[in-house]
Amino acid sequence: MGTTAEYECPHRVPVPPSKPFLKCLQTSLKETFFPDDPFRQFKNQPASRKFLLGLQYFVPILEWAPRYTFDFFKADLIAGITIASLAVPQGISYANLASIPPIIGLYSSFVPPLVYAMLGSSKDLAVGTVAVASLLISSMLGKEVSPTENPKQYVQLVFTATLFAGLFQASLGILRLGFIVDFLSHATIVGFMGGAATIVCLQQLKGMLGLLHFTHETDLVSVMRSVFGQFHQQWRWESAVLGCCFLFFLLLTRYFSKRKAAFFWINAMAPLTSVILGSLLVYVTHAEKHGVQVIGHLKKGLNPPSVSDLAFGSPHLAAAIKTGIIIGVIGLAEGIAVGRTFAMFKNYHIDGNKEMIAFGMMNIAGSCTSCYLTAGPFSRTAVNSNAGSKTAVSNIVMATAVMLTLLFLTPLFHYTPLVVLSAIIIAAMLGLLDYEAAIHLWKVDKFDFFICLGAYLGVVLGSVEIGLIIAIMVSLLRILLFVARPRTIVLGNIPNSGIYRSMDQYPIANKVPGILILQIDAPVYFANASYLRERISRWIYEEEDRLKSAGETSLHYVILDLSGRR
């Protein structure tokens, strides 16, 4: 091989001066953990101003509250009352799904929304309990302690798991690890949430059919075996008929609200209407004496403190920690995804790290005030946004409405049939089966579609935990494959222009005679260096063979485009 002097060198780019190691490390850490540069606002500010800015950063309500107007309050008042009508029946329903006393579901719609209103950065997110986390709590902790045989110890484990979920969430935010949530791709979230929604719906067959005994397992086979194994002895046709009627009513109101956007409130009020109608029907017909199960007594009063109920000395503490971390991840993934979606629609930005801290603090506070895990459910947030909420004050209004319910209205839920709660959960979960997104993935990227399908089947055929592990592992595998096996693309010139594009995507692009232009779609580093060397060599051999067989100008130059742009 000859020396460099033997080759024509029309232009030589000088090597940039080296930077000190500590300076490079500082820049790298800043770009990784502080991409938004939160310290920029503190530059050249007096100490008092820095203190105020610091408070506003960690407590966002202090930033926008001085600009709050009466018009904003009117909009938030309407939105808050609207979501309260959804929060009350959903809170009771999801608590029943978690196998805890229904009153805890109402407690969880009182304290956490107040905390989020002070610390959260989303204008639209409506805080409350979520079905997937509720199911996980029941399935994971129910294996350790029976909620029917030892309800007090079970509830203590639920509060403990909620505390560790909050600590985990807040730690991620404080340590600026919000980017971890970004590793869950859209495809995995669609598949996981769809699978979880399917399992939640199947679990509600217990309430719809009036079954007294049901499996704690969440996989499809176990649930179906539990349902059909009690076909002759336990099925209650009264519950089934009542449940189907209310489910049809809920789905009908949703369909109507989608067709007529101005009547969104009809869908929002439908769950509470179902609870009222179901309670009246049971009360008038005495259906509770004919196999229709009801909620029963709900005590009046606000959240009692539960610090003494945290089971740090329990032999099941490890299970509570494990459950807390898993439901914490699910709560963050759903809440931040929902918050970002509505922020994008309304053209504002939410800070993922602030959201993690807000979620963590509201769950820490909740675990000490008889609440269980809360996040940002899509259905409640959609209603909040459609109702015209302007700020997080709508959460305060909702919490106030729930407080009044706890103080004065809980006896009215005594005759609420459990089958209505099951219908409410099924109607909410059907909205999470995003088949349109799955079809879109199939059309756009088959690999992403199979990732989505794998996450879905992992939940449905295995368990929610297995589905979550599959979702995370497949997402990481996709990222590793993208970086370790990057695409190399041949670029060609668009006629009559200086633009170069992929010859696969742009058939009109022409190769430059004697030159092979390759684009690499990822950074070059040790994990892909060997692969890229082999792949580039193969491109060169294939191009030389093609030119030789076509009798064209031989290959003189190979240009590598490392910009990563298509």
* pLDDT tens string 538-564: 988 988 888 888 887 788 888 888 875
* 7-11, 236-240, 308-312, 439-443: the lowest-pLDDT one: 7-11
* pLDDT tens string 33-54: 777 667 777 777 888 887 888 8
Give me 34's structure tokens. Answer: 């502080």
Whether the per-residue pLDDT at 12 is higher than 90: the answer is no
More confident residue, 15 or 93: 93
- Average pLDDT in the 110-120 region? 94
Give me 70's structure tokens. Answer: 């009466």
* pLDDT tens string 368-427: 999 999 998 888 888 888 888 889 999 999 999 999 999 988 888 888 888 888 888 888
The answer to whether the beta carbons of residues 100 and 154 sit under 8 Å apart is: yes
The pLDDT, as a whole number, for residue 231 is 64
- Banded pLDDT at 10 (limits 50, 70, 90): low
Angstrom distance (rounded) from CA 41 to CA 55: 13
The answer to whether the beta carbons of residues 92 and 274 sit under 8 Å apart is: no
Task: Name the residue among 272, 193, 155, 139 with its Cα closest to residue 437.
Answer: 193
Q: Lay out the sheet containing 500-502: strands in order across.
A: 500-502, 488-493, 515-520, 557-561
User: What's the length of the chain?
Assistant: 566
The answer to whether the beta carbons of residues 218 and 466 sit under 8 Å apart is: no
- Average pLDDT in the 112-119 region? 94
Give me 84's structure tokens. Answer: 């309260």
The answer to whether the beta carbons of residues 356 and 173 sit under 8 Å apart is: yes
- CA-to-CA dists, residue 436 to 356, 381, 442, 474, angstroms: 29, 20, 10, 21
Segment holding 516, helix H or strand E: strand 515-520
The CA dihedral of 79, 339, 420, 201, to the nearest 10 degrees, is: 160
* pLDDT tens string 344-371: 878 888 888 889 999 999 999 999 999 9
Taking every pair of C-alpha atoms in the chain, what is the biggest distance, in angstroms? 100
In one-letter notation, the amino acid at residue 24 is: C
More confident residue, 379 or 440: 440
Give me 285's structure tokens. Answer: 């017909």
The answer to whether the beta carbons of residues 476 and 184 sit under 8 Å apart is: no
DSSP assignment string, 60-123: THHHHGGG--HHHHHHHHHHHHHHHHHHHHHHHHHHHHTTS-HHHHHHTTTHHHHHHHHH---S
- Average pLDDT in the 76-84 region? 89
* pLDDT tens string 467-502: 878 877 887 888 888 888 888 888 999 998 888 888
Task: Name the residue among 510, 504, 513, 558 with its Cα closest to residue 536.
Answer: 558
The pLDDT, as a whole number, for residue 426 is 87
- Average pLDDT in the 435-452 region? 87
- Banded pLDDT at 20 (limits 50, 70, 90): confident
Give me 143's structure tokens. Answer: 């294996």
Task: Name the residue among 385, 412, 381 with its Cα closest to residue 298.
Answer: 412
The CA dihedral of 328, 295, 425, 471, to the nearest 10 degrees, is: 30
> pTM higher than 0.75, yes or no?
yes
Please give the mean pLDDT across all residues of the chain: 85
Determine the straight-line distance between the first and last CA of the chain, rounded to whole angstroms.
34
The pLDDT, as a whole number, for residue 564 is 57
Whether the per-residue pLDDT at 320 is higher than 60: the answer is yes
The pLDDT, as a whole number, for residue 194 is 87
The pLDDT, as a whole number, for residue 370 is 93
The pLDDT, as a whole number, for residue 8 is 58
- Banded pLDDT at 23 (limits 50, 70, 90): confident
Whether the per-residue pLDDT at 4 is higher than 70: the answer is no
